[in-house]
Structures are given as structure tokens and as C-alpha cells.
Chains A and B, each alone.
Chain A
Amino acid sequence: KAGVTQTPRYLIKTRGQQVTLSCSPISGHRSVSWYQQTPGQGLQFLFEYFSETQRNKGNFPGRFSGRQFSNSRSEMNVSTLELGDSALYLCASSKQDEAEAFFGQGTRLTVV
């Protein structure tokens, strides 16, 4: 059974550019959540999608957005990149609300 797949694994972007990250959940999982991990702030929740609808959103600026497709795959977009956006971005999927969350290997974004 395939796990949560995130692509790409590594990205280097320049300030002001935009970036799109992709997450394919475990088959049958309808919930996909995104987290940002930095050494200073730890793991912070970005947003969660369930059946193509954003159900919950963390405290991040509007430059961070996402969407979910009918096959449950999700994308996260960051526009007008800032140096502080450099982080490990993690995606998690789960089957239902009370179920275990499974994480992908993450996308390491470096903004220069």
C-alpha cells in the first residue's frame, strides 16, 4: 500500500517567485492537511481539505493557498515568496476525523 507522496522533494526558489507543491494521499483517504516546519516555530498547521473543500485554516497570510482535486490529491501554492518561507512542508492524510494521520516525506523549500 503506497504511503503519502509529496513532490518535489527539494525546491530552490528566488524571492518574489511562486511555488506549487503536490501531495498524493493514501488511497481511500479523503482528508489532506498541510503543515510548515521550521527550526524556530516547529510544526504549524496551514490548512486542511476534505472532499475538495477547505475545512480549516491556520494563521498564515493569504499568500499561502491550496486546493484539493476530486481524486483527493492536493496542491499547495505560495505566492510572492519570502526568505522566511524557507521550510519543510509536510502533508498528512487520514481516512476520517478520528483516524490516524500519515505524513509524507515533505518538500524542502529554500528561498534565496
Chain B
Amino acid sequence: KQEVTQIPAALSVPEGENLVLNCSFTDSAIYNLQWFRQDPGKGLTSLLLIQSSQREQTSGRLNASLDKSSGRSTLYIAASQPGDSATYLCAVKAQTGANNLFFGTGTRLTVIP
């Protein structure tokens, strides 16, 4: 069974700092990997989707990389802002023909003004 782990569980950084969130998964036979953001009590907002054939994706201050062979992904956030404070979740789709995602437990990020 696919297991997804995110480290660290929580992170506090001062505003303006660059940071990296980590995600690892046990089964490298993934279809794609998606990073989400979740604000307290809210739904999930999709940040980046990386297909298994891709190495990285960028959107604004966000850059996500994927190393499928080692079962790892990182989310890099440049020049962090207080508005970036949220829980960040990674999820992998590990089965073709179906759309269930396996989620990590998330990293709760706090950016201190």
C-alpha cells in the first residue's frame, strides 16, 4: 500500500525566508504527484501537479520537484510571506484507471511577519 510522509510536520520561518517542504512516498510507480494548500477549516487548493514523466513544475514563487526513483518530492517556496501560512499537503496518484489520491499528513507552515 502506498504510504506518503511529509517532513517536517510543522515549520515556522520569518517573512522573506526561502523554504523547502519534503514529501516521500513508498511506491515509486506513481501516475502523478500534486501539492495542495489548505487553510484552517477550508478545502484544498491545488498548487502544482507533476506528471510522473516530469522533473519539476513552477508557478510564481513555488517550485516543485519530483524524483520518482527515490520516491521524493520537494516544494520550494521563495521569499515567504505571511499569507503563505497554511498546511501544505502532497498527494500521489498510484493507480491508473482510478483517481484516488494518497495523502501525506501535511506540513503546517507559519510565516512570521
Contact = CB atoms under 8 A, between A and B. Distances in A.
Contacts of B96: 97
Contacts, number: 66
Interface residues of A, number: 27
Interface in A89-112: 90, 92, 94, 97-98, 100-106, 108
Interface of B: 31-32, 34, 36, 41-46, 49, 51, 89, 91, 95-106
7 contacts: A42-B105, A42-B106, A48-B100, A88-B41, A92-B101, A97-B96, A101-B34
A33 B46 contact: no
A108 B99 CA distance: 23
Chief secondary structure at chain A's binding surface: strand
Contacts of B46: 100-103
A16 interface: no
A103 B91 CA distance: 13
A105 B42 contact: yes
